[in-house]
Structure 1
């Protein structure tokens, strides 16, 4: 697959995700946070393009399993975060970068969507301990939690890098540990089931019948209803995240964005989420990866 197209797909997916309106509790085209605005996310989606193209080229070059470690996914994630930080002040896209980077590498070596999914998994399995260190640096640079606080191998502990290299803990292994409490980590260690089995097919179908915005919001709401958001659960507890998921499911029962009743309920839910500072950031990341896979699928047809 053409690396230029892959990079554009990553950029477009990032921009479409944030443009979806209304995505309850998130920044969108009519709503900002106090410390992050809609335009910050647009900038973030655009500036990762060069790194995503480089990633796709690396995937195309190192397309044999024994060479997958040479792609250096961790370093590419770090570079994308560094590039974002030159343009925006806050962490707008670490999770998206973590999902889209292996997707770009896998797309570079694949001829169909099934291959993309399998190659993402193999790339993650063949990461190195240096990839883990670079991921830790990216998380620190983005000033994000994501992996939770641990007694050992903590992202915030300066000795962690040395321990990771000495114990040869690759990215897959460290994310597998985090998968117990982080949906994004689980996604990257289980062949991206939310992206490929829930988000992508729903976006593809809804886009045909109802257009891009309805598809984006429907994917967001469906993922939120089925998978309690781990950004919310880390901040406010699992019970609160589950409550949010139930409310999202109730809105889907009313038709979601595809019905007048559902849309009114959705807009009200958005305001309640904002008032209570409930931000389903992980859901937004998975929406972006779902959109990107749909764009890749269109190219491969």
Structure 2
């Protein structure tokens, strides 16, 4: 796929995700948080475009199996976080960048969406210890909240970086260690099942018949209803995360954003989550990757005359 197209898909996905409203418990076009506002996310979605293009070009350049380790996913993730940090004050897109960077690299070496998923899984496994170090540095630059303290290779520990290099632990292996408690880590080490099997089909189907906003919010609700948000789980416990997911399912059973009854409950759910400080941020990240996958799937249709 064309690198410029891939970068646009990443930017579009980032902007559409945050624009979806009412996307319960998150910043959206009619709701700001005290420490970050809607425009921060728009800016963040735009400024990562160059690095997503770089990721796509590296995917194209290092498409041979023996060269996958040269893609430098960790460096690309870190560079996107650094660039974002130049433009906005708070971490707005670490999770999105972690998902969209390997998607961009995999798309760069692929001709269709089926190949993207397989290639993504392979290039993740081919990452290096330096990729892991760069990921740790990206997390610390973003000052990502809700990561939790870990007994092994904690990102907040100064000794962890040296340990990664000495023990030759690559980025894939680091994410495997956290896959049990972090959905993004699980997503990146298991072929992105939520993105490709849950979010993508919903967004793609609804985008063809409903508004993009409806497709975005319904995709978010579907993901949240099926996969308890691990950001909420780390902050408030498993029971609370499951309770939020049950509420999302109840709204979907009423039609979600597609019906008047569902929309009324959705508005109430949004207010309730914000009041209680329950932010399904992981679900938002997975919504963005689902949107990007949908636009990648449209590549041949959009570029059919080229």
* Pairwise same-fold verdict (TM > 0.5): yes
- Report the TM range for the smaller structure's normalisation: over 0.9
Equivalents in 1 of 2:144, 2:220: separation in Å?
22
The equivalent of 1:279 in structure 2 is 279
Deviation for aligned residue 1:68: 0.5
Superposed CA offset, 1:146-189 (max 9, x none): 65312231101111111000100011111011000000000000
Deviation for aligned residue 1:65: 1.3
Matched, 1:174 2:174: yes
Equivalents in 2 of 1:177, 1:246: separation in Å?
28
Are 2:146 and 2:235, in contact at CA under 8 Å, matched by a contact in 1? no
Are 1:124 and 1:172, in contact at CA under 8 Å, matched by a contact in 2? yes
Matched, 1:195 2:201: no
Deviation for aligned residue 1:221: 0.3
Instruction: Please give the secondary structure, in 2, of the residue aligned with 1:234.
Output: helix
The equivalent of 2:304 in structure 1 is none
Superposed CA offset, 1:43-102 (max 9, x none): 000000011101100000000111110000000000000000000000000000000000
The equivalent of 2:23 in structure 1 is 23
Unmatched runs of 5 consecutive residues or more in structure 1: none
Superposed counterparts of 1:3-82, under 5 Å: 3-82=3-82
Equivalents in 2 of 1:248, 1:300: separation in Å?
34
Q: TM-score, normalised by structure 1?
A: 0.99
Q: TM-score, normalised by structure 2?
A: 0.97
Instruction: Please give the secondary structure, in 2, of the residue aligned with 1:55.
Output: helix
Equivalents in 2 of 1:26, 1:300: separation in Å?
33
Runs ≥4 in structure 1, deviation > 4 angstroms? none
Equivalents in 1 of 2:20, 2:147: separation in Å?
27
Equivalents in 2 of 1:123, 1:224: separation in Å?
28
Superposed counterparts of 1:151-166, under 5 Å: 151-166=151-166
The equivalent of 2:107 in structure 1 is 107
The equivalent of 2:299 in structure 1 is 299
Equivalents in 2 of 1:66, 1:234: separation in Å?
38
Is the alpha carbon distance of 1:188 and 1:236 closer, same or farther for their aligned partners in structure 2, counting shifts above 3 Å?
Answer: same
Equivalents in 1 of 2:211, 2:259: separation in Å?
14
Matched, 1:250 2:250: yes
Superposed CA offset, 1:202-234 (max 9, x none): 100011111200000000000000000000001
Equivalents in 2 of 1:226, 1:190: separation in Å?
17
Unmatched runs of 5 consecutive residues or more in structure 2: 302-306
Instruction: Please give the secondary structure, in 2, of the residue aligned with 1:209.
Output: coil
